[in-house]
Structures are given as structure tokens and as C-alpha cells.
Amino acid sequence: MSFEFLNYIWIAVALLTFFSLLFFNIKAPYGRHSNDSWGRMISNKWGWFFMELPALMVMPIIAIIGPSEKNETSYVLISLWVIHYVYRTLIFPFKLNTKNKKMPLIIVFSAIGFNAMNGFLNGYALGFMDLYLIDVTSYHVIIGSLVFISGMVINRWADNSLIRLRESKQGYQIPRGGLFEYISCPNHFGEIVEWMGFAIIAWNLPALTFAIWTFCNLSPRSRNHHDWYKQYFSDYPKNRRAVLPYIF
């Protein structure tokens, strides 16, 4: 099986997952949707840590040890990936105010496989494929970097806003301000924007594959959150969308 064909299969799985989650309204049982009907559970914090760890390790190791020639753009891509996943693996889980929450081990193992595959595809592209080396001053590297950084800022701002609400110890509340006035999940929107920016910089199939997967995974999750908010709060703003302002 060729590396390119493997990417196309992974995109097909992403699209199948998207339509399954969206149209069958499947709620992955972690976070506010957590329940023990999916088997044995693990601490929410450590679940997040183990879920994200493969992405942090696999991509940069494969990219760096691979024999392909690297340039400044290669190291920009590796650095952005590491910055994102250092936060996701080593910082974000331990900021969560979810002392008693747990998630099913099956979700953790599924996410480990998911992150390992995405890390492998993007690491292999940089480390083992003789790709055209893009100059770091190319317009799409600059634009993609700005898009990635914008998405990262949105994602972390939204995460911190939600964490502060939980720390108030008043139970769930309606998030207010900024993008929360337009969508229920700016954190997911920011992450989708991040990986779109990454794909613009890399300009290769594996990065595009991951951007597609991010949207296919997080947009149904955002709709689940949006529906939960509407059910939980009778006064939830009716003009908000789930993850894409004015659209979805």
C-alpha cells in the first residue's frame, strides 16, 4: 500500500466517522457526556495525558530521525506541532477542574490510535519523503503560520474561559463574551483553524488529511455540546451556532 493511498483511506475513515457521529448523534462518553456504560474508566486528567502523548512523541521523532532533507519550514512545522501537543499533553489536562470525572478506557485507547496515526503520517511526510522544500518566506508559509497562531490563541482563550467558569464552583454556566456570543465551542473552532493553518504551511496531503480529520471529529462533538447547552439552560442564546459562526 502506498503512503498516498494510506492517506486517502484515512480521509475516508474521517468522513465515515463524521457522518456517523453527526447523523446517529453519537456522543463520545467523556467530559460533560461522561458515563460508565462503555466499560472501565480512568481519571479524566490521566486519560487526556495518555490520549495526547502519542501525537507529542511520534510526529517529531519520525520527522527528525528520517533521512529526508529538512529546511527552516520543516522545523517550523515540527515546532508548531510540538508547541500544540506540549500544551495538550503536559499542561491542559492538569489545569482541568475535574477532580472526580472519569472517561472510559476504550475512548483513551481509540484516541491513542488516532493520534499515533496522525503523528505517523505527518512525521513520515517530513522525515522520509522527498518533498519539495518550501521556502520559509513563501506566502503560504506566512499566511498559514498566522492562521495557526490565530487558531491557537482562540483555542487557549476559550479553554481558559471554560476552566475559570468551572473554578467558580457554581456548576455549569453559560459561557459569555468573545466568540462565545456566536458559537458554543470556540475551543473546537480554534483547533480546527490551527490545523487548517498547519495544512496551508505544509502544503502536503498528510497535513490536509489531519485538518479534515480535525473538522470531522470536532464539529459533531461541538454539536453535541451545543445541544447539551440548549437542554441544560432554558435561556441559552438562540442565535448561537455550534462551531462555525452563522453556519453550523
pLDDT bucket at 217, cuts 50 / 70 / 90: very high
- Contact (CB, 8 A) for 51 and 80: no
- Number of compact structural domains in the chain: 1
pLDDT bucket at 10, cuts 50 / 70 / 90: very high
89 lies in some domain: yes
Nearest to residue 108, comparing CAs of 20, 37, 14, 41?
41
What one-letter code names the amino acid at 176? R
243 lies in some domain: no
pLDDT surpassing 60 at residue 83 = yes
Residue 136: which domain range? 3-232
238 lies in some domain: no
48 lies in some domain: yes
| Residue 125 grid coordinates | 511526510
Q: What was the pLDDT predicted at 173?
A: 86
Instruction: Provide mean pLDDT across the span 33-39.
Output: 63
pLDDT bucket at 117, cuts 50 / 70 / 90: very high
pLDDT bucket at 30, cuts 50 / 70 / 90: low
122 lies in some domain: yes
28 lies in some domain: yes
Q: Whole-prediction pTM value?
A: 0.92
What would the pLDDT profile of 167-211 be if each residue is shown by its tens digit?
A: 766 667 899 999 999 999 999 999 999 999 999 999 999 999 999
244 lies in some domain: no
**3-state secondary structure labels for all residues of 144-185:** HHHHHHHHHHHHHHHHHHHHHHHHCCCCCCCCCCHHHHCECC
| Residue 107 grid coordinates | 475512548
Measured between alpha carbons, how far is 24 from 231 in angstroms, rounded to an integer? 18
What is the residue-averaged pLDDT of the chain?
A: 90
Least confident window among 101-105, 118-122, 131-135, 235-239? 131-135
Least confident window among 14-18, 123-127, 161-165, 208-212? 161-165
58 lies in some domain: yes
**Percentage above 90 pLDDT, the chain:** 73
pLDDT surpassing 90 at residue 131 = no
Q: What was the pLDDT predicted at 100?
A: 74
Measured between alpha carbons, how far is 114 from 53 in angstroms, rounded to an integer? 11
pLDDT surpassing 60 at residue 34 = no
Contacts of 148 (CB under 8 A, 6+ apart): 80, 193, 194, 195, 197, 198, 201
pLDDT bucket at 24, cuts 50 / 70 / 90: confident
